[in-house]
Amino acid sequence: MTGRLWGVGLGPGDPELMTVKAARLIGEADVIAFHSARHGRSIARSVAAPYLRDGQVEEHLVYPLTTETTDHPGGYQGAMDDFYAECAVRLAAHLDAGHDVVVLAEGDPLFYGSYMHMHKRLADRYECEVVPGVTSVSAAAAVLGRPLCERDEVLTVLPGTLPPDVLAERLRTTDAAAVMKLGRTFAGVREAFELAGRLDEAWYVERATTADQRTAPLADVDPDSVPYFSLALLPSPINNFVPATEAPRIDGEGSVTVVGLGPAGPQWMTPEVRSAIAAADDLIGYGPYVDRLPDRARQRKHGSDNQVESERAAFALDLARKGSRVVVVSSGDPGVFAMASAVAEVAAEPEYADVVLNVLPGMTAAQAVASRVGAPLGHDYCVLSLSDRLKPWEVIAARLTAAATADLAIAIYNPASKSRTWQVGATKDLLLQHRTPSTPIVIGRNVGGTGEAVTVTTLGELDPDQVDMRCLLLIGSSQTQTVQRPSGPLVFTPRRYPDGQSAG
């Protein structure tokens, strides 16, 4: 009769979190096997120590290397394959002698555990059973007191050894996540969370449930202090998000939150907006903006044309009255030529008086374009739209004249479209009545997105044909300066006028 092989999960570190079955098997086993690095200290053995008994044979399986280099002809993987093969031979000798062997495994034996390498080499020859254990992911959520996932949310478990750009893409498209195997990978993992725009949502947990346990926001952790036995956790977004103006939702109570996505990709989105989107039941907005958001099985997306703002607002409010948590998305900031005004206008009607309405700000296109060249909006400025779809050109012209006369820098939205091609030329002519031809002009096209282009020119040299519907114009004041530098032109408006009066 041969012995039986047991893969026994020890849980995350607290001996009291071991299962009753695991504790019993450890005490009954003839042979106890455990791994360690070459320093000889085995975390697995230390966790199991209260349940060991005198007279047991201990097989100490020492890794030949961890992060070191090796001259093995098969490289790191070859050296590890030979090590696991040798360990299997050692354990097989005990099993052939009729002795039961327990292989200790931190967490769960088949969850990023070393036991699985013994299982693959021995399970086809010997009777074998795996005893599951509490994983470090579950332990991390428990010590943080933050739910992992809820309802139809997706939890993704990722190794920190992935390249930062690959890891970032996975983090962008999941609801919740746990990133294992930190230690030397921590800098890359932190970079990935930052690239995904989710660093402010993430938590760090080290040696969960042990006396050396440590937790902190991931952004606050010193990379040099991170051991291998730690992980990064992105908890359930539903449970992470409570709007500042709204108490936690009671089942059946809906709400509408109007958010700004920023001018382009997820890196421009605020953590508050991202959390609100993740917690939504329904996402509503102009089709291309809604398409920028990841698909989630539990969410419904409602994209529409950009000329049905009132209808879109009413639809959102009607869904909220039925109990849905609705997010209406806008590009840039929702209060700047976007959906916040349209939703507020409809929400002001008596029939929607009981619907909770929140507005979360976003980075504006004007701020994004200005940032690319310096600080052209560093002093007083105004924001105007050249679109005459909702107001007549005479009003636009009067406001342009007033802004130019007041010597304000001007951010111009919606300067042109396929059907509006003459307004930029008319604006140039009007401004030249009040500004010199040398006035700095910045043309920003699709800033933050694919094909971004930023051009610095002057009012006199402005070519209206360069401006299309994807552009935003910044018009300098009389004090705005352009300085040529090796890295490109620097455009800024000083905060002081020549007479020494401060703008602040």
pTM, two decimal places: 0.58
CA distances from 246 to 200, 242, 356, 358, 370 (A): 21, 7, 8, 8, 34
Out of 133, 156, 176, a domain closes at 133
pLDDT of residue 245: 42
Residue 452: give its domain's CATH number: 3.30.950.10
CA distances from 44 to 11, 57, 103, 141, 412 (A): 9, 16, 9, 21, 64
Q: Cα separation of 473 and 10, whole Å?
A: 62
pLDDT of residue 118: 95
pLDDT of residue 500: 55
Indicate whether 501 belongs to any domain: no
Residue 332: give its domain's CATH number: 3.40.1010.10
Q: Cα separation of 402 and 444, whole Å?
A: 24
pLDDT of residue 469: 84
* Nearest alpha-carbon partner for 31 in 56, 2, 6, 49: 56
* Gyration radius (Cα) of the chain, Å: 31
Task: Tell me, yes or no, whether 409 and 461 share the same domain.
Answer: yes
What is the domain range of residue 439? Answer: 366-492
Q: Residue 365: left (phi > 0), alpha (psi -120 to 50), or beta?
A: alpha
Strand partners, 358: 257
Number of domains within the chain: 4
pLDDT of residue 501: 53
Burial of 305 (0-12, 13-18, 19+ CB in 10 A): exposed
Q: Cα separation of 117 and 86, whole Å?
A: 11
Task: Tell me, yes or no, whether 115 and 10 share the same domain.
Answer: yes
pLDDT of residue 240: 58
* Nearest alpha-carbon partner for 365 in 322, 325, 333, 326: 333
Indicate whether 504 belongs to any domain: no
Say which DSSP state 34 is in.
E
CB 160 within 8 A of CB 179: yes
Q: Which amino acid is at 80?
A: M
List per-block mean pLDDT (blocks of 10 residues) for the chain, which spans 504 residues.
Answer: 94 95 96 93 94 95 83 87 95 96 96 93 95 95 89 89 93 91 93 88 93 92 90 80 42 83 84 85 91 79 85 93 93 93 95 93 94 95 90 94 95 87 92 95 90 93 90 95 94 85 46
